[in-house]
């Protein structure tokens, strides 16, 4: 019975494989039968060579080729490749095609992902394949790849130039090899030349593999998992994948449908580390419908196997399969941010955590829904949706939140918390947000101890304050205590002090969120109410508040003139709680709760801010 089974599938394989004839093939596994204009490789980022990736930069990553070796080109006009010459080629000469009449050229092509966030190729860069029949001396382009413009820098991802006009308008190249084809003519001999034109700067590159000339070409089906690595890869998810994992496949050259329609369907199964099937099923559509995967548990590794089958459920031949190793990490449960930071210090970032205790929101920002939070130990962290797997509900300053879940990463020295679920629960709100008083030397020498916490500096001055300079967005300003300096960066583009004049005299108080840039301490002032000016700032309008602290419900303002005053009162959250015009030098604060407030007084076009304590 086994022999009959094997014979049956051998016949199918024979019929399928011999439906097409491979006339020529170069997969670079055992060498290179072509002639290169130059062979060069500096062992890093400049090369025009056959490679398996081990003798060039480790950051150069392409996958899905035929075997281990491929041919790659990058920065081809470097010194090692003949300085100044950014046109290189690989020629396959005098291939015998005399007995064939229905030929197709097929080739796998890929492009390494940009390393700096910019598109690799400039306008006018080309990679093309051209052929010459019977040594006529004239080459004709049959495939070409270009950017979306003929000039400019970092223009676009290269894509197929379907009409050979120098502008990419077709399928884009990716780090995963994709097969491209073109029909060929007839003759006795054919020369095939692959030309790199203009890839002579930085990380401009292209890679190609498995060049074939085929008689009666049959397109081989493909099976790909959406938003996942190529077959054979490894995917590390978040812990939440144990509860909400889904799969969604795409195919090419194969129509998935409910039998007896289409070419067949997709069979899949997931196994645990003990090779036990956890879940399995059949998929009859590739319209984007997600199929749930059940039975997964965080903290485990699983293997996904999928294959194309014909309408009767028999795997097609040659087999078209997809495999993936899936790692689902688990949460490390911590009581507070201090415990989280201690674990990251010991084990590095990249782990996932559940914070069971309360954290206090000290600032929020609309950019990537950023929140700064700290615990009772005054350990802080930045929460951001930049790169996170989940969004979170917006919290308010003064909220105590528990149950946060997320992953960690360090960017420019700052530990960030990336939500994996909208799991936080507000346990109380309107809590006082009181900064801890520190000095510039403390921040500069121990920034990791204060990172993402709310702090207050006293008796400091803006170095750039000259009476006319104003705050701009995304700018560093030095703050000094006379002997030491620290960078105050305008990281909050919507802050109310943007465009305001930089104070030119000593500040009584400067409140800010702390951060760093690769080890250099920085502070980020939240709003104008964080800046408390000294009386010297406005020597023509000196004033004081009394009684301060107060429990009488009234506060008197003493000034050097009798002009009316515009008075604004802010709470510690930066919320304006009172505004009035004062002509009798007295304000009624009886309706305000006990706490700390900031009183901003404007008189004769001069303004200053005082701290007020109500008992």
In a domain, 3, yes or no: no
DSSP run (H or E) holding 449: helix 447-450
pLDDT for position 596: 83
CA-nearest of 550, 560, 561, 557 to 580 is: 557
Is 13 in contact with 317 (CB distance < 8 Å)?
A: yes
Task: Name beta bridge partners: 515.
Answer: 522
Do 253 and 310 share a domain, yes or no?
Answer: yes
pLDDT for position 119: 76
In a domain, 9, yes or no: no
Cis preceding-peptide flag for 260 (omega within 30 of 0): yes
Tokens of 189: 């001999």
Neighbours of 586 (CB within 10 A): 10
Is 409 in contact with 419 (CB distance < 8 Å)?
A: no
| Tokens 């419900």, located at residue | 553
In a domain, 7, yes or no: no
Statement: residue 6 has pLDDT above 80:
no
The pLDDT confidence band at residue 15, using thresholds 50, 70 and 90, is: very low
- Cα 420 to chain centroid, rounded: 15
What does the pLDDT look like over 408-462, one tens digit per residue? 999 999 999 999 999 999 999 999 999 999 999 999 999 999 999 999 999 999 9
Is 291 in contact with 281 (CB distance < 8 Å)?
A: yes
Residues 69, 53: Cα–Cα separation, whole Å:
8
In a domain, 314, yes or no: yes
pLDDT for position 13: 32
What does the pLDDT look like over 343-385, one tens digit per residue? 999 999 999 999 999 999 999 998 999 999 999 989 999 999 9
Do 40 and 172 share a domain, yes or no?
Answer: yes
Residues 491, 372: Cα–Cα separation, whole Å:
13
pLDDT for position 572: 66
Do 206 and 228 share a domain, yes or no?
Answer: no
Is 398 in contact with 431 (CB distance < 8 Å)?
A: yes
Residues 180, 191: Cα–Cα separation, whole Å:
18
Tokens of 420: 């994996």
- How many residues are there in the chain? 615
Contacts of 173 (CB under 8 A, 6+ apart): 109, 110, 111, 145, 157, 158, 159, 206
Residues 364, 492: Cα–Cα separation, whole Å:
10
Number of domains in the chain: 5
Statement: residue 5 has pLDDT above 60:
no
Of 312, 328, 344, the residue that ends a domain is: 328
Q: What is the mean pLDDT of residues 100-122?
A: 88
pLDDT for position 44: 87
pLDDT for position 537: 47
Do 356 and 274 share a domain, yes or no?
Answer: no
In a domain, 457, yes or no: yes
- Cα 599 to chain centroid, rounded: 42
Tokens of 422: 């909208």
| Tokens 């965080």, located at residue | 298
In a domain, 4, yes or no: no
The pLDDT confidence band at residue 562, using thresholds 50, 70 and 90, is: confident
DSSP output for 333-379: EESSHHHHHHHHHHH-S--EEEE-S-EEEEEEETGGGEEEEE-TT--
Give the CATH number, domain containing residue 295.
2.60.40.10
Domain boundaries, position 296? 222-328
Do 201 and 241 share a domain, yes or no?
Answer: no
Do 264 and 204 share a domain, yes or no?
Answer: no
Do 95 and 183 share a domain, yes or no?
Answer: yes
What does the pLDDT look like over 323-332, one tens digit per residue? 999 999 999 9
The pLDDT confidence band at residue 3, using thresholds 50, 70 and 90, is: very low
User: Whole-model pTM?
Assistant: 0.62
The pLDDT confidence band at residue 17, using thresholds 50, 70 and 90, is: very low
In a domain, 6, yes or no: no
Tokens of 183: 């029909």
Is 257 in contact with 265 (CB distance < 8 Å)?
A: yes
Do 371 and 502 share a domain, yes or no?
Answer: no
Residues 78, 552: Cα–Cα separation, whole Å:
79
For residues 525 and 14, which has the higher predicted lDDT (pLDDT)?
525
What does the pLDDT look like over 164-209, one tens digit per residue? 999 999 999 999 899 999 999 999 999 999 999 999 887 899 999 9
Is 292 in contact with 279 (CB distance < 8 Å)?
A: no
Do 514 and 582 share a domain, yes or no?
Answer: no
For residues 596 and 91, which has the higher predicted lDDT (pLDDT)?
91
Half-sphere exposure of 52 (CA within 13 A, CB side): 8
CA-nearest of 192, 28, 209 to 110 is: 209
Do 209 and 340 share a domain, yes or no?
Answer: no
Of 215, 243, 278, the residue that ends a domain is: 215
Give the CATH number, domain containing residue 515.
2.40.50.140
Do 179 and 43 share a domain, yes or no?
Answer: yes
CA-nearest of 89, 83, 79, 81 to 34 is: 89
Tokens of 74: 């990058």
In a domain, 382, yes or no: yes
Give the CATH number, domain containing residue 87.
2.60.120.200
What does the pLDDT look like over 514-553, one tens digit per residue? 999 999 999 999 998 898 875 444 444 457 889 999 999 9
Of 428, 450, 478, the residue that ends a domain is: 428
Residues 385, 3: Cα–Cα separation, whole Å:
58
- Cα 157 to chain centroid, rounded: 17
What does the pLDDT look like over 112-171, one tens digit per residue? 988 666 777 999 999 999 999 999 999 999 999 999 999 998 889 999 999 999 999 999
Give the CATH number, domain containing residue 574.
2.60.40.3080
Statement: residue 10 has pLDDT above 70:
no
Do 296 and 359 share a domain, yes or no?
Answer: no
CA-nearest of 215, 199, 183 to 122 is: 199
Phi and psi, residue 127, nearest 5°: -135, 125
């Amino acid at each position: 019975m086994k022999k009959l089974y094997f014979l049956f599938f051998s016949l199918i394989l024979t019929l399928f494989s011999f439906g097409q004839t491979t006339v020529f093939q170069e997969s670079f596994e055992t060498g290179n039968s072509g002639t290169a204009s130059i062979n060069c490789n500096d062992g890093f980022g400049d090369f025009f060579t056959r490679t398996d990736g081990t003798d060039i930069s480790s950051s150069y990553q392409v996958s899905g080729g035929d075997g281990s070796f491929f041919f790659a080109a990058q920065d081809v006009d470097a010194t090692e490749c003949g300085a100044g010459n950014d046109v290189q080629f690989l020629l396959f000469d005098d291939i015998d095609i005399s007995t064939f009449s229905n030929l197709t050229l097929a080739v796998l092509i890929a492009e390494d992902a940009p390393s700096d966030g910019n598109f690799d190729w400039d306008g006018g860069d080309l990679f093309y394949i051209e052929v010459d029949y019977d040594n006529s001396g004239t080459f004709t382009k049959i495939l070409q790849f270009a950017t979306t413009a003929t000039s400019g820098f970092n223009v676009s991802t290269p894509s197929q130039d379907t009409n050979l006009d120098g502008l990419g308008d077709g399928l884009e190249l990716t780090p995963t090899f994709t097969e491209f084809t073109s029909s060929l003519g007839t003759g006795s001999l054919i020369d095939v030349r692959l030309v790199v034109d203009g890839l002579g700067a930085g990380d401009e590159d292209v890679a190609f593999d498995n060049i074939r000339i085929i008689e009666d070409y049959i397109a081989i089906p493909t099976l790909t998992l959406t938003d996942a690595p190529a077959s054979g890869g490894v995917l590390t998810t978040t812990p939440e994948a144990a509860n909400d994992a889904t799969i969604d496949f795409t195919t090419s050259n194969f129509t998935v449908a409910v039998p007896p329609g289409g070419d067949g369907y997709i069979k899949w199964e997931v196994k645990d580390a003990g090779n036990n099937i956890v879940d399995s099923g059949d998929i009859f559509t590739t319209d984007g419908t997600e199929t749930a995967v059940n039975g997964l548990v965080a903290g485990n590794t699983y293997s996904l196997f999928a294959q194309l089958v014909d309408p009767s459920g028999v795997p097609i031949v040659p087999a078209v399969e997809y495999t993936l190793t899936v790692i689902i990490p688990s949460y490390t449960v911590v009581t507070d941010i201090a415990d989280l930071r201690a674990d990251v210090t010991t084990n590095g970032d990249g782990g996932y955590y559940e914070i069971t205790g309360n954290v206090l929101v000290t600032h929020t920002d609309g950019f990537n829904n950023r929140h700064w939070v700290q615990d009772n130990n005054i350990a802080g962290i930045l929460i951001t949706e930049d790169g996170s797997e989940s969004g979170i509900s917006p919290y308010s300053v003064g909220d105590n939140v528990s149950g946060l879940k997320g992953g960690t990463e360090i960017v420019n020295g700052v530990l960030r918390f990336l939500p994996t679920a909208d799991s936080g629960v507000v346990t109380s709100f309107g809590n006082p947000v009181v900064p801890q008083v520190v000095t510039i030397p403390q921040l500069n020498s121990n920034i990791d101890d204060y990172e993402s916490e709310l702090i207050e500096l006293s008796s400091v001055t803006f170095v750039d304050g000259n009476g006319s300079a104003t705050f701009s967005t995304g700018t560093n300003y030095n703050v000094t205590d006379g002997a030491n300096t620290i960078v105050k960066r305008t990281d909050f583009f919507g802050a109310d002090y943007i465009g305001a004049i930089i104070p030119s005299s000593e500040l009584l108080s400067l409140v800010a969120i702390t951060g760093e840039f690769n080890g250099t301490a920085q502070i980020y002032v939240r709003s104008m109410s964080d800046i408390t000016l000294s009386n010297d700032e406005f020597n023509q309008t000196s004033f004081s508040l009394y009684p301060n602290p107060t429990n009488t419900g009234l506060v008197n303002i003493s000034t050097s003139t009798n002009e009316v005053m515009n008075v604004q009162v802010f709470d510690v959250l930066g919320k304006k709680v009172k505004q009035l015009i004062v002509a009798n030098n007295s304000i009624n604060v009886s309706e305000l709760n006990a706490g700390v407030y900031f009183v901003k007084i404007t008189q004769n076009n001069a303004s200053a801010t005082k701290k007020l304590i109500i008992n």
